[in-house]
Structure 1
Amino acid sequence: MFSKLLAVFDRPPADPVAKNFPLLGSPWPVTLLILGYLLFVLNYGKKFMQHRQPYDIKKIIILYNLFQVIYNAIMFGFMFYYFFIDPAYPLDCLHTFPLDDPKKNIERVISYTYFVNKIIDLLDTIFFVLRKSYKQITFLHVYHHALMVSAMYWVFRIYGFGGQFFTMALANTFVHSVMYFYYMISAIYTGLKGSIWWKKYITKLQIFQFVSVMLHSVYILVFNPKCECPLIVHLMIFVLGVIFISLFTNFYIKAYVKPRNKKQQ
């Protein structure tokens, strides 16, 4: 059993160029990164802060959120361009380009840039620890961040860059542009945090993105069964979609539906 697991870890990447990108040459750096993240936010970080006052990192958080808005907006713009303006893929069959395709390097760079952003997202939780804002370190938050980094790595290694997973990246970068803009406004104008009316719609957007990505996979499987995109890719999208829809829906009910029902009673 253990030898089979090691064999998976030692399996060469689907795209041989992947080994030239930092963190993609071997599963161990990403595995250790996620392990270190979990140990810090769930244990050692809290111990480190136990006898310390929360750090005043408001300016850092504002700059971080602004950076994330710009980063995600630029990624969304590039992917939107190659989806709808100068289409790199037919929308009824998104499959990673052959290794000799002229646009292969563009596909690699956009995919890797998205992966790097999932790593940068981990700073959210680090900031929560440093501010002793532990109530925000929920199972959904930690699981979502850790899984996205791990999932993207294994997608690149087993399947390759781009392809069907660009639909998730396209939707996700748009949602994150809106989400980090909200975080930035909340950090600048702390008194408005509880009164920004469109806050709950961010969670609805997050749910909608997974629904739309899953429906796109269904569309391809039903109307273009000859598409070369492997069935395992669609299954991975379905599994991730079901997990995140369940978690975000549960969060939405607890955060917005139940409090509203209590007020009406």
Structure 2
Amino acid sequence: MSDATSASAQIVDYFISLFYVFESTLDSLLKPVEETGKAVLSSLAPSLYSNVGQYFASSASPFASRLPLMNFFHVLVITLSYLGLVFGGKALMEKREKFNMRLVSLFHNLFLVLLSTYMCGTILSEAWRQGYGLFGNPVDKTERGWQMAKYTWLFYVSKIAEFMDTYIMVLKKNNRQITFLHVYHHCSIFVIWWAVVYIAPNGETYFSAALNSAVHIVMYGYYLSTTLSIPIRFIKRFITLFQMTQFTMMMIQATYDIILFRFVKADSEEKYPFDLAALLWIYMWTMLGLFANFFKKDRLREQQQKLAKKE
């Protein structure tokens, strides 16, 4: 490994160390609640609780135990806290003046541009180093797959930083932007990526993480430019099209993987989990439908604004 690659790898190791501290804090705060929650769930739905537990126990990647924030209870608490802060925050802000979030937005968007660039570059570089193809890459449970697992784990926890998008909207009272699509996407993608990293943090997983990171370089770059009052608004409509293209490519990948690993290589030991490929396929349909509806409404709103200016 070259010096540049080694230095790059140390960045993700720093984030892992940081999140171990975060996880330790969560454990100290939530352990009694977690035990009570497990006891309640096991008594209310013993069969479901047992089956789900057995599924994740049998499907777990060997790398899951070496990465922080792999406890689903922590994921659930973070997700519920996000929803509570968003809807509770909207209620609190109803009778308050909006905050000037320009400086916070500046640092937030800059951080996510830099982080997305790092994730896209390191994931693609590691895929190249490991000899990955575009599609059809099986899960690697050997030590050789550890570095890619760390990079995709970082992509998973980066979804927590993206929650700040909504908090900024709440404090700016931009409630029109806090749509079902926005909240659903932030919540669901965080939980889904927990499952992906827990079960298969390398192999085919690399494609979605690298592609989404590339989209976010453009998206947060645009948000950064608007914060700096740089007039490049024409890019806005293309961001949604870029996102929809991304979803289409992921759906193509999921279809390819379902056919390849379910039928063509059904008996092979080197596979990517069918359950994750099927989950990706279904989730991409929801994303395409919601984003297409958003794009249509956004274009209609632009046309109405243009007509209003002419009158």
Query: Per the shorter chain, which TM-score range?
Result: 0.7 to 0.9
Q: Indicate whether 1:111 and 2:152 are aligned.
A: yes
2: CA distance between counterparts of 1:165 and 1:148? 14
2: CA distance between counterparts of 1:9 and 1:126? 33
Aligned to 1:146: 187
Aligned to 2:73: 28
Q: Indicate whether 1:4 and 2:56 are aligned.
A: no
2: CA distance between counterparts of 1:53 and 1:262? 26
Residues 1:230 and 1:105: Cα distance change in structure 2 (over 3 Å) = closer
**When the two structures are superposed, what TM-score results if normalisation uses the length of structure 1?**
0.87
Instruction: Report deviation, 1:232.
Output: 1.8
Aligned to 2:169: 128
Structure 1 gap segments, 5+ residues each: none
Structure 2 gap segments, 5+ residues each: 1-43
What does the per-residue CA deviation read over 1:201-223, in whole Å, with 9 as the maximum and x for residues that have no partner? 00000000010111123334456
Larger radius of gyration: 2
Q: Indicate whether 1:196 and 2:233 are aligned.
A: yes
- Classify the secondary structure of the residue corresponding to 1:86: helix
Instruction: Report deviation, 1:229.
Output: 1.6
Instruction: Report deviation, 1:77.
Output: 0.7
Aligned pairs (5 A) from 1:222-241: 222=259, 225-226=264-265, 228-241=271-284
The letter for the 1-side match of 2:137 is: L
Instruction: Report deviation, 1:260.
Output: 3.2
Aligned to 1:61: 105
Assess if the C-alpha contact under 8 Å between 2:123 and 2:152 holds in 1: no
Q: Indicate whether 1:164 and 2:204 are aligned.
A: yes
Instruction: Report deviation, 1:87.
Output: 4.0
Assess if the C-alpha contact under 8 Å between 1:69 and 1:176 holds in 2: yes
- Classify the secondary structure of the residue corresponding to 1:52: coil
What does the per-residue CA deviation read over 1:98-147, in whole Å, with 9 as the maximum and x for residues that have no partner? 2x232x22022101100111111111101111111111101111000101
The letter for the 1-side match of 2:98 is: P
What does the per-residue CA deviation read over 1:56-82, in whole Å, with 9 as the maximum and x for residues that have no partner? 221111011011001001111112223
What does the per-residue CA deviation read over 1:35-66, in whole Å, with 9 as the maximum and x for residues that have no partner? 11112212x11232233221222111101101
1: CA distance between counterparts of 2:89 and 2:301? 32
The letter for the 2-side match of 1:78 is: T
Assess if the C-alpha contact under 8 Å between 2:119 and 2:151 holds in 1: yes
State percent identity of aligned pairs: 27
- The structure that is helix-richer by fraction is 2
1: CA distance between counterparts of 2:278 and 2:143? 26
1: CA distance between counterparts of 2:93 and 2:273? 47
Residues 1:162 and 1:4: Cα distance change in structure 2 (over 3 Å) = farther
Aligned to 1:217: 254
Residues 1:66 and 1:200: Cα distance change in structure 2 (over 3 Å) = same
Aligned to 1:246: 289
Farther-moved stretch of structure 1 (142-151 vs 49-58): 49-58
What does the per-residue CA deviation read over 1:174-214, in whole Å, with 9 as the maximum and x for residues that have no partner? 00010000001111117x4xx61111000000000010111
1: CA distance between counterparts of 2:222 and 2:83? 26
Residues 1:47 and 1:218: Cα distance change in structure 2 (over 3 Å) = closer
- Classify the secondary structure of the residue corresponding to 1:144: helix
The letter for the 1-side match of 2:112 is: Q
Assess if the C-alpha contact under 8 Å between 2:160 and 2:190 holds in 1: yes
Assess if the C-alpha contact under 8 Å between 2:109 and 2:220 holds in 1: yes
The letter for the 1-side match of 2:147 is: I
What does the per-residue CA deviation read over 1:144-171, in whole Å, with 9 as the maximum and x for residues that have no partner? 01011000112233x2212222211111
